[in-house]
Structure 1
Amino acid sequence: MAEPGPPPAPNQPDGPTEVARLNKIIQALMDRAERNTSAHVSDFTAFQTTIMLTERVRRRTEQLEAALRDNEKANRILRASEEKFHGLANQSLTGIVIVEDGKFSYSNGKFNEIFGYSAEEVRQLGPLDLTIESDRPLVAERFRKLLGGEMNQLTLTIGGLRKNGTEVDIEVHGSLMASGGTLQTIAVILDISGRRQAEQALAFKNTILATQQEVSQDAILVVDAQGKIISYNRRFINLWALAPDVVAAGVDEPVLQQVVAQVQDPEAFLARVVYLYEHVTEESREELALKDGRILDRYSAPMTGADGTYYGRVWHFRDITERKQAEKQIRDERAFSNKLIASLPDIFCVFDSTGRFIHWNIRLRRLLGRSNAEMSQANIFSIVHEGDRARAKEKIQAVFQQGEAAIEVRVSALRGIRDYAVTATRTETSQGVLVIAIGSDITERKHAELELQRLQEQLRDQSVHDSLTGLYNRRYLEEMFARELILAERQGHPVSVIMGDLDHFKRVNDAHGHLAGDEVLRVFGALMKRHARGSDICCRYGGEEFLLVLPGTSTENAVERAEQLRLALAAAPVTFGAAQIAVTASFGVATFPRNGRTSDDLIAAADAALYSAKSAGRNRVSVSPAPAGGGAGA
């Protein structure tokens, strides 16, 4: 929408209309003159009439020209005034708009910038288009009241709606003006987003400060430069048992009187307060003893601005009665600890980061056979056995970094090597970071642990081995066979099983006795162990049955291994006393995954093959056939 031009100057004739009117008058006068001439009026009369008409036209023309000059001058002034208004409006740091018939008829650059529209786009919009939905009823109502004369000024703080859909906080000030018989609303728009954010940030900061003051462990009192109380927290009221209304009154004197009445030395207290108020730059920290036995820590600091202006003083009070009691208890406990350390049955020492001894007890000194003077020159690492020294240094370095560690080391004592369990703890002192170490003699315990470990290993070995043959037993087989099958499944390689059984073993027992039978079992077990690889599992499955698990072995290779065992056993009679006992065995072979996928399935397949070998005449190797339909792995 084009901007409206300046209205015409008041009481001035319209130029073209006036010229047309004068032309009509001149034409009428000329017609009259012509008629008079036709009526035989004298030449003098005609000349006189012409002169009169000419004079009237000249005068009226001069009037018309003067009127046109005045009109042009008024238009120039109006255009200059309008250009000056637009120039000033566009330079304004606030948005300026004119609203006419519900639409914007004018907007300055700042207004367009605030809302992100061009001037042409703004002309197509109205106030409600640039207002967030929740504020539109309010804006509509205020404009209605302004136009209806119910209010003289328009003042609003609302949410504006930018072209990109984002919101902006704005403040609107407007009023009515009449132009060319039309009512218009001229309004000034302020973008207050920054101010809102600053106000919110300030409110947030004040909330934080107030919260910090309330949750502080200190009782806080803030007094301005004129001695008026401007802030305090509830802890201050409770600490001094003050009436809330007395403090709320803001007068420092009555509060000070009630506080002074509670301290043991009121004169010294009051003198210090007066001194601090007179010396506005000083800070102060003292302990106050109250008449009721409490002890307070009082800290006071001035409040100054960046330019050094003094604004008042802050007072912090904290009840440290329990802390003072605890400090006394610590002193008492330290004295007790020193006596306790001296009587400890364990060795005790404190050393620095270089390992130099700082403190030690008499137990450590006697263990090493050194005097106090020698101990002061000694180093913690020098008393550690050479074989444990590197490990001890690594542990101690970890203590200085992480705070605590436990280590067992051998100590080079006066009467030989002793084992100690040492607990080291990092501590910070006035002498720097130190380590406290306490060591218990565990030499006898270490000996007992070694013996126990040996017995446990023996029991472990017995629990998984057959006591007669020394081969693994069935319990170990069940545990390890399952693991081998899982690995074979994952890697896709075969696992074969050879089950061997001595032929006519009962005859051996009957003919030569059970001791001879045991010897035959031992020889057979030793033979299987000699023919086993490191990865094979060789075990006595039960009675005269033996099992050999062969990871990564095909059926053909397993049959070859079984034949080697059969031939070796048959070729070497078992010697028992004076007897030479000829022994043979039958073997059954099964393979994963062809004959089964579980240990039970494979053992059952090998056992069935073994039974076939027995049925076929013994002293032979039989292979478990693949199941019909492609085998177990199909």
Structure 2
Amino acid sequence: MVERRPLGPESDPKLLLQEIARQNKVIHALINRLERNAAGDYRSEFDELQTAVALKSEVRRRTAALETALGDNELMTRQLRESEFKLLSVVNQPLVGISTSEDGKFTFANQKLADIFGYEASELIGRDILILVAEQDRPMVAEHTRQRMSGQVPVADYTFRGLRKDGVEIDIELHGSLHHIGVKPIAVSVMLDVSKRKQAERRAEDLHALLREQSIRDALTGLYNRRYLDVALEEECSRAQRDGDVFSIVMCDIDHFKSVNDKYGHQAGDDVLAIIAAQLGKRCGPADQAFRYGGEEFLIVLPGQTDAMAANWANELRETLREQTIKPGRQAFRITASFGVAAFPHHGLCCTEVIGFADRALYAAKRGGRDQVRIADPVTTIPSPALAPAKWRLEHRPTGVKRGSIR
């Protein structure tokens, strides 16, 4: 880079040319006087001639300075043109949109930015930068812009939902910085249309969520599977302990399910499982969770419900199932189910204990004639008052009523 010299009497081309012309006139006037006054005072004329020679030397010196200044100016002009060409090459490249803005309004936009948003570049100049932002993201972009212009966050890197001129929303990735021209802050932004990448990411996320859901769901019934049961129960047990709350487990087993498969076929058995799953879906609340525990067994977790409340819930389901008619072919039949109920912390302070008591209650219902609900016997597992949640103590005040069956 050539150092630019300050312009002044020594280097300003226009002033130097004027000075050379003036001094040339002086020299010609002196020579003419010598020719006209050849017989006069030679000492005086000689002095004037010396003055003319000195002036001529000065003219030569200044002419050399002028030529140097002109050369320097030409070199600087060429370098400025080269820099301008490089800058325009960067600004007008077809890969990313580039803009500058002052006071929240565009002062420059390259053609790529205009193409991304469906505008002509001239249409954006002087317009509010938020016209390129979808309504739901305008507060966020406005805050990012405020932080950048104040110098609080001089470098910006974020994505937002952009808005094309035709109203179509697109995904935009923005990288920006802050510059000062004099005292004026200028925001420089580089924007990329990343809609295809974001769409691919969203599809991948949806697929991941679907695969995860499929991995914890039973394919036939759509209920949660045994694999997910341990995770869900651990979370529910932690919640109940943290909140001082209760929860109940209901185990359900279809009566004489093997005979259904043997007599009507496995398709009929699948129909029975699907009917029970549909009824569980209808009866379970937002916080309840139903699982296919294995084969013809189901397990339901009922947060916030005591064993008595869960037994009533199970009894209503039992009566609903009795009214269902399955007709896989010409012959129709009905089904019944048996239920076992246990609660935390009444029947145990860990999930394994509660499930164990619910399972024993279920088999007690089977041995007692099926098509009934049994609550597990809690005699040996009643927790100390300090461990029992207040809600459980309130629901289980001594009443003198014998527990263990639904009447």
The DSSP-based 3-state class of the residue aligned with 2:221 is: coil
Return the match for 2:98 from 331, 343, 348: 348
Q: What amino acid maps onto 2:185 in structure 1?
A: V
Residues 594 and 419 of structure 1, relative CA distance in 2, 3 Å threshold: closer
Higher relative contact order (Cα pairs below 8 Å, separated by 6+ residues): 2
The DSSP-based 3-state class of the residue aligned with 2:95 is: coil
TM-score between the two structures when normalised by the length of structure 1: 0.44
Question: Conserved in 2, the CA contact under 8 Å of 1:396 and 1:424?
Answer: no
Q: What amino acid maps onto 1:396 in structure 2?
A: T
Whether 1:594 aligns to 2:346 is yes
CA–CA distance in 1 between the matches of 2:247 and 2:166?
Answer: 61
Residues 379 and 532 of structure 1, relative CA distance in 2, 3 Å threshold: closer
Return the match for 1:403 from 154, 157, 160: 154
- 1:379 counterpart residue number: 128
Instruction: Give matches, 1:152-551, under 5 Å.
Output: 336-357=86-107, 359-367=108-116, 373-401=122-150, 402-405=153-156, 406-413=158-165, 417-430=169-182, 432-551=184-303
CA–CA distance in 2 between the matches of 1:372 and 1:572?
Answer: 69
CA–CA distance in 2 between the matches of 1:627 and 1:387?
Answer: 59
Per-residue deviation, 1:603:
0.8
Structure with the higher strand share, 1 or 2: 1
TM-score between the two structures when normalised by the length of structure 2: 0.67
Instruction: Give matches, 1:617-628, under 5 Å.
Output: 617-628=369-380
CA–CA distance in 1 between the matches of 2:242 and 2:117?
Answer: 59
The DSSP-based 3-state class of the residue aligned with 1:377 is: coil
Whether 1:579 aligns to 2:328 is no
Per-residue deviation, 1:565:
1.8
Per-residue deviation, 1:454:
2.9
Per-residue deviation, 1:623:
2.0
The DSSP-based 3-state class of the residue aligned with 2:374 is: strand
Deviations 1:475-517 (A, max 9, x none): 3332222222222223333221110111111111111111111
CA–CA distance in 1 between the matches of 2:226 and 2:178?
Answer: 53
Deviations 1:226-259 (A, max 9, x none): xxxxxxxxxxxxxxxxxxxxxxxxxxxxxxxxxx
Question: Conserved in 2, the CA contact under 8 Å of 1:395 and 1:407?
Answer: no
Instruction: Give matches, 1:52-67, under 5 Å.
Output: none
The DSSP-based 3-state class of the residue aligned with 1:472 is: coil
Question: Conserved in 1, the CA contact under 8 Å of 2:161 and 2:169?
Answer: no
Residues 543 and 352 of structure 1, relative CA distance in 2, 3 Å threshold: same
Higher deviation after alignment, 547-556 or 504-513: 547-556
- 1:607 counterpart residue number: 359
CA–CA distance in 1 between the matches of 2:103 and 2:329?
Answer: 72
Deviations 1:510-555 (A, max 9, x none): 1111111111001111122222222222221111111111222222
Per-residue deviation, 1:360:
2.8
Higher deviation after alignment, 600-609 or 363-372: 363-372
Q: What amino acid maps onto 1:527 in structure 2?
A: Q
Deviations 1:322-352 (A, max 9, x none): xxxxxxx9x9988745422322411111111
Deviations 1:272-309 (A, max 9, x none): xxxxxxxxxxxxxxxxxxxxxxxxxxxxxxxxxxxxxx
Q: What amino acid maps onto 2:147 in structure 1?
A: A
Residues 577 and 425 of structure 1, relative CA distance in 2, 3 Å threshold: farther
Question: Conserved in 1, the CA contact under 8 Å of 2:159 and 2:171?
Answer: no
Larger radius of gyration: 1
CA–CA distance in 2 between the matches of 1:491 and 1:383?
Answer: 48
Residues 387 and 534 of structure 1, relative CA distance in 2, 3 Å threshold: closer
Per-residue deviation, 1:365:
3.7
Q: Percent identity?
A: 32
CA–CA distance in 2 between the matches of 1:382 and 1:630?
Answer: 66
CA–CA distance in 1 between the matches of 2:171 and 2:243?
Answer: 48
Question: Conserved in 1, the CA contact under 8 Å of 2:246 and 2:343?
Answer: yes
Question: Conserved in 1, the CA contact under 8 Å of 2:133 and 2:160?
Answer: no
Deviations 1:565-593 (A, max 9, x none): 22221232223243322211111111111
Residues 627 and 349 of structure 1, relative CA distance in 2, 3 Å threshold: same
Paired residues, number: 305
CA–CA distance in 1 between the matches of 2:317 and 2:310?
Answer: 11
Residues 432 and 587 of structure 1, relative CA distance in 2, 3 Å threshold: same
- 1:113 counterpart residue number: none
The DSSP-based 3-state class of the residue aligned with 2:286 is: coil
Residues 629 and 344 of structure 1, relative CA distance in 2, 3 Å threshold: closer
Deviations 1:7-65 (A, max 9, x none): xxxxxxxxxxxxxxxxxxxxxxxxxxxxxxxxxxxxxxxxxxxxxxxxxxxxxxxxxxx
